[in-house]
Structure 1
Amino acid sequence: MNTNLADALKTQANTHQYFTTGFTERTGLAWHQPTPAGASVGRALSVVLPAHNTAYALPTVLDALGAQQHAADVEVILVDDASTDATFDIARRHPAVTTAVRLSQRRGSAAARNAGARLAQAPTILFVDADMALPAHVLADVAARAEADTVLTGFRHNVPYQASPGGGPLLPEGPPLLGADHRVTWRPPVGKILPYSGITLTDELDGRPLDATNDFQTLGYGRAYYDWDLPRMVVTALLAVPREQLVDVGGFDEEFGLLGWGMEDTHLGAALIAAGCLVVPLRQAVGFHLDPPDAAAQWQAKLASWPATLARYRHLLSLPAPVGHGRDFTTAADKHLTDAEVITR
């Protein structure tokens, strides 16, 4: 009988210094240094964006993708999860998008990501939220560093919605800030149970998860930094994964999308870690995460569904670590695509 997922995580180290040091010795580039376009020559990348009612931000996001400076072979696949706004129309017309997909009915972001991954041709898939505007070096950062056993995670700088004079969201001046991400700067509540770990902090904490864990290395073997463990560091707002490994573990568990918000990326992270992948941060890869106009209401709805998705995640931890699920992944993704509208340039 296969080891359950929770126990499998306890056997996996995340000591990636040999990998990052080897990259620097081979290329002359520091691991966290923005990457010149030429360093990504000969590499291939499939960018997959799941989208639902993101027309308010999508032109800005796609313009940023179109402005990326790289020498890699890149395709951009946007999967519209049955939006009721202009999301699909924007996607199918924008020159940065090579494949635009519209699902016939809403199935959740996990299903949308799986459908995009099914169409992806490159060995590395970069998942980007459809409300994440990236600096021009990020695709080169990822393409130059991606390998078959690494999960590369970037970071996000949330930006409250404010309309610009041109009608799109107003972006802050200057680059996105690494410290704006909770995995970097974290100030948890005092005296309240933290739902993920169940711990309660009695004193204020100036938490520094990224620094305190040596770029997540000390989170190997199932260890934690207060409320953070290694799977929680895997966030699909900006995340590169090896396509072959993604398919083998079955992709994203689509039950999460039916239950609500959260934990689908955490579970994927757990599955990939159990399969032997390293989780390596890219400190220079930070995007502006553009809040919607009704961000407060959406956030409350997301939090309301989190207990259900957390319960699903805990259940999956008790099951065997997923392996050899490629056929199931293909069958499910093909079913989504059967009646989808697909436009390819």
Structure 2
Amino acid sequence: MNTSLKNSLANQGNDHAGHTREFELKTGIPWHQTVPHGYLGGRRLSVILPAHNVAYCLPDVLDALDAQTYGRQFEVIVVDDASTDTTAKIIATHPVVTTGIRLPARHGAATARNLGTFVAQGETVLYVDADMALPPHTVADLAARATDHAVLTGFRHNLPHRAAWPATGPELAADHRVTWRPPAHTRLLYSGITLHEPVDGRPLEHTRDFRDLGYGRTYYDWDLPRMVVTALLAAPRAAVVDIGGFDAEFGRIGWGMEDTYLGACLIAAGLLVIPLRQAVGFHLDPPDAAEQWQHKLRGWVGTLAHYRALLNAPAPSMRLTAFSASMNTLLHSCEVLR
């Protein structure tokens, strides 16, 4: 009898000290230090961006990818999720885009990422939000450390629409996984707990770079799958397709949790979740950020319920054939932009 995903998570640790030490001994580069300009090591990498009505920021995001200092070539795959603005035109004309695909109807970010993963040629897929502008060293830092056994997570610094970019670059402390100030006397949606006094939360620091979240352990409202955020995330392509990619049902229900579920499945498959403190990007808010956030939160209740149900199902594996067949059918209905 197949064990449940929840039980599989309880049996997997996250002590990645040996993994990071091996990289440091091999390269002479500390884990949380940027690699040299023009670094040539690392794995073949495919950057995948799901895009929907992001014309306000997509040129900046693609320009930032064009300015990366990684010495090896990498492909940039952008999947337009049936945008109604000029997103498709930007994808078709920007020189850094190697593959541009347009879905015939809105499917959601999970399906867009799946399609990008299907056509990717790299050993590692780097998921980047289409509103996430990366500093020049970021792709090299992730590619240098990518392996078949690790999920590498970066961080984000949200910027209000059209705000000036700080000259010092994005700040690690701006991410909620680093600095967390939860409300007191309010039921937290993810865990269901209520905190009766203010908490000066430091999830990254207090869990020793997420190592103490193995075996299903938690830090207040956080667990290891919740640390997996596809705003900036690198994973071995073979592992992603083996579990069947992202569950597209999340996008049909509402917003969020598809990356948490992806993380849970990859952890259950034995992968480690390892943060890179130097991998921080600017997350560029849309003009209507407040309205969009309220809309997302309304849908999160449904996606969280779907996630909880999936935790009681068997951990997915050996889904490559079904994944490929589904994506191949979808691809034939798409418009090739580039």
User: C-alpha separation between the residues in 2 aligned to 1:96 and 1:44?
Assistant: 16
Mapped contact 1:157–1:180 kept (Cα < 8 A): yes
2:286 to 277, 292, 296: 292
Instruction: Name the structure 2 match of 1:23.
Output: 23
Secondary structure, counterpart of 1:39 in structure 2: coil
**CA shift for structure 1 position 35:** 1.3
Instruction: Name the structure 1 match of 2:12.
Output: 12
User: C-alpha separation between the residues in 2 aligned to 1:144 and 1:312?
Assistant: 35
**CA shift for structure 1 position 339:** 1.1
Q: Does 1:318 align with 2:312?
A: yes
Paired letter, 1:226 = Y
**CA shift for structure 1 position 91:** 1.0
Instruction: Name the structure 2 match of 1:175.
Output: 169
Paired letter, 2:161 = Y
Mapped contact 2:42–2:145 kept (Cα < 8 A): no
Instruction: Name the structure 2 match of 1:161.
Output: 161
Instruction: Name the structure 1 match of 2:299.
Output: 305
User: C-alpha separation between the residues in 2 aligned to 1:71 and 1:290?
Assistant: 27
Paired letter, 1:78 = V
**CA shift for structure 1 position 42:** 5.9
Mapped contact 1:46–1:124 kept (Cα < 8 A): yes
Q: Deviations over 1:207-231 (max 9, x none)?
A: 0000000000000000000000000
Instruction: Name the structure 1 match of 2:44.
Output: 44
**CA shift for structure 1 position 38:** 4.1
1:248 to 223, 242, 246: 242
Instruction: Name the structure 1 match of 2:228.
Output: 234
Q: Which aligned pairs between 1:1-345 and structure 2 lie closer than 5 A?
A: 1-41=1-41, 43-162=43-162, 170-344=164-338
Paired letter, 1:147 = T
Mapped contact 1:42–1:71 kept (Cα < 8 A): no
| TM-score, normalised relative to structure 2 | 0.98
**CA shift for structure 1 position 120:** 0.3
Secondary structure, counterpart of 2:26 in structure 1: helix
**CA shift for structure 1 position 331:** 1.9
Secondary structure, counterpart of 2:106 in structure 1: coil
Mapped contact 1:153–1:281 kept (Cα < 8 A): yes
User: C-alpha separation between the residues in 1 aligned to 2:245 and 2:284?
Assistant: 26
**CA shift for structure 1 position 279:** 0.2
User: C-alpha separation between the residues in 2 aligned to 1:41 and 1:62?
Assistant: 23
Aligned-residue Cα RMSD (Å) equals: 1.0
Mapped contact 1:186–1:209 kept (Cα < 8 A): yes
Mapped contact 1:43–1:72 kept (Cα < 8 A): no
**CA shift for structure 1 position 72:** 2.2
**CA shift for structure 1 position 63:** 0.3
Paired letter, 1:160 = P
User: C-alpha separation between the residues in 1 aligned to 2:168 and 2:215?
Assistant: 38
User: Across the two proteins, how many residue pairs are aligned to each other?
Assistant: 338
Instruction: Name the structure 2 match of 1:166.
Output: none
User: C-alpha separation between the residues in 1 aligned to 2:41 and 2:184?
Assistant: 49
User: C-alpha separation between the residues in 2 aligned to 1:208 and 1:42?
Assistant: 30
User: C-alpha separation between the residues in 1 aligned to 2:9 and 2:173?
Assistant: 28
Mapped contact 2:158–2:284 kept (Cα < 8 A): yes
Q: Deviations over 1:169-211 (max 9, x none)?
A: 6423221000000000000000011111111000100100000
Paired letter, 1:46 = S
Q: Deviations over 1:238-261 (max 9, x none)?
A: 000100000000000000011111
User: C-alpha separation between the residues in 1 aligned to 2:164 and 2:337?
Assistant: 30
Mapped contact 2:177–2:204 kept (Cα < 8 A): yes
The runs of 5 or more residues in structure 2 that have no matched partner are: none
The runs of 5 or more residues in structure 1 that have no matched partner are: 163-168
Mapped contact 2:243–2:316 kept (Cα < 8 A): yes
**CA shift for structure 1 position 58:** 0.3
Quick check: 238-247 or 169-178, which moved more?
Answer: 169-178
Q: Give the share of equivalent positions with the same residue, in percent.
A: 61
Mapped contact 2:46–2:122 kept (Cα < 8 A): yes
Paired letter, 1:302 = K
| TM-score, normalised relative to structure 1 | 0.96
